[in-house]
């Protein structure tokens, strides 16, 4: 049970990381766009997901939003299982934070870089992709690492909708045995190992690899 929970926790975090990064990039570009119709919804999105608790987002998405969408588009069909609601909620939430991390990274690059790239004849998109984002990426890594670690920990919140992840496994054991220390300490130890691995090995490794000095 703990092992299945462990795998699901990893999967939830991995999917939310990838989906959140992609979506976050688009939202960040939207927020920095010169077009109002792109800038406005992106800003609203960020405020919405950053300004409400993750737990509320999970409950809302699982019990209200997804069943309503299913009812409207696939009447009579079964709503997807909890783990998908969890993935969606985590990804959407991560995207809001990651978008802001990207924006901070990109805006920290000297505007001269963009001007120089443009004067070499690059389009705005090319300059972004080839000059600004690679430089910004190095600066964003510590903040991104931070976000992935909190994403890993926040995935434990999906236990409330009976997503069979690590925290759910621990809660289930605690509930049926009335023992509190063993399951929750085991759970805490596993999360600690995971976050240490993420921060020491993955993030630090990436930081070294992309270090400019």
For residue 79, state whether it binds another protein (rule: CB under 8 A). Answer: yes
For residue 80, state whether it binds another protein (rule: CB under 8 A). Answer: yes
Residue of 53, 63, 115, 192 that binds another protein (CB under 8 A): 63
User: 196: exposed, middle or buried (C-beta count within 10 Å: 0-12, 13-18, 19+)?
Assistant: exposed
173 closest CA partner among 160, 163, 186, 161: 186
DSSP code at position 178: -
Give the tokens for residue 116. Answer: 């120089």
Report the distance separating Cα 173 and Cα 2, nearest Å.
9
> What is the CB neighbour count within 10 angstroms for residue 13?
24
For residue 197, state whether it binds another protein (rule: CB under 8 A). Answer: no
Binders of another protein among 145-174, rule CB under 8 A? 160-162, 164, 168, 171-172, 174
Residue of 33, 68, 107, 108 that binds another protein (CB under 8 A): 68
- Least distance from C-beta 156 to another protein, angstroms? 14
The whole-angstrom distance between residue 108's C-alpha and the CA centroid of its chain comes to 22
Residue of 176, 208, 209, 211 that binds another protein (CB under 8 A): 176
For residue 11, state whether it binds another protein (rule: CB under 8 A). Answer: no
CB half-sphere exposure, 155, CA atoms < 13 A: 32
> What number of H helices and E strands is found in the chain?
11, 0
For residue 77, state whether it binds another protein (rule: CB under 8 A). Answer: yes
Q: Based on CB atoms, which residue is closest to another protein, 81 or 110?
A: 81
- Least distance from C-beta 96 to another protein, angstroms? 22
Contacting positions for another protein (CB under 8 A): 1, 4, 63-64, 66-68, 70-72, 77-82, 160-162, 164, 168, 171-172, 174-176, 178, 180
């Amino acid at each position: 049970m703990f092992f299945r929970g462990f795998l699901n926790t990893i999967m939830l975090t991995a999917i939310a990381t990838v989906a959140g990064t992609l979506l976050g990039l688009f939202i960040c570009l939207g927020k920095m766009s010169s077009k109002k119709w792109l800038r406005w919804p992106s800003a609203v999105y960020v405020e919405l997901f950053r300004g409400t608790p993750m737990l509320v987002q999970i409950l809302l998405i699982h019990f209200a939003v997804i069943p309503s969408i299913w009812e409207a588009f696939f009447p009579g069909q079964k709503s997807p299982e909890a783990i998908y609601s969890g993935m969606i909620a985590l990804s959407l939430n991560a995207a809001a934070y990651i978008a802001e991390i990207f924006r901070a990274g990109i805006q920290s690059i000297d505007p001269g870089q963009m001007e120089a790239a443009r004067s070499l004849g690059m389009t705005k998109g090319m300059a972004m992709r080839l000059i600004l984002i690679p430089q910004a990426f190095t600066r964003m890594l510590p903040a991104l690492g931070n976000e992935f670690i909190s994403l890993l920990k926040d995935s434990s919140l999906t236990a409330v909708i009976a997503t069979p992840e690590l925290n759910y496994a621990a809660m289930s054991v605690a509930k049926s045995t009335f023992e509190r220390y063993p399951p929750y300490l085991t759970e805490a130890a596993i999360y600690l190992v995971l976050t240490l691995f993420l921060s020491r090995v993955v993030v630090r490794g990436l930081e070294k690899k992309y270090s400019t000095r």
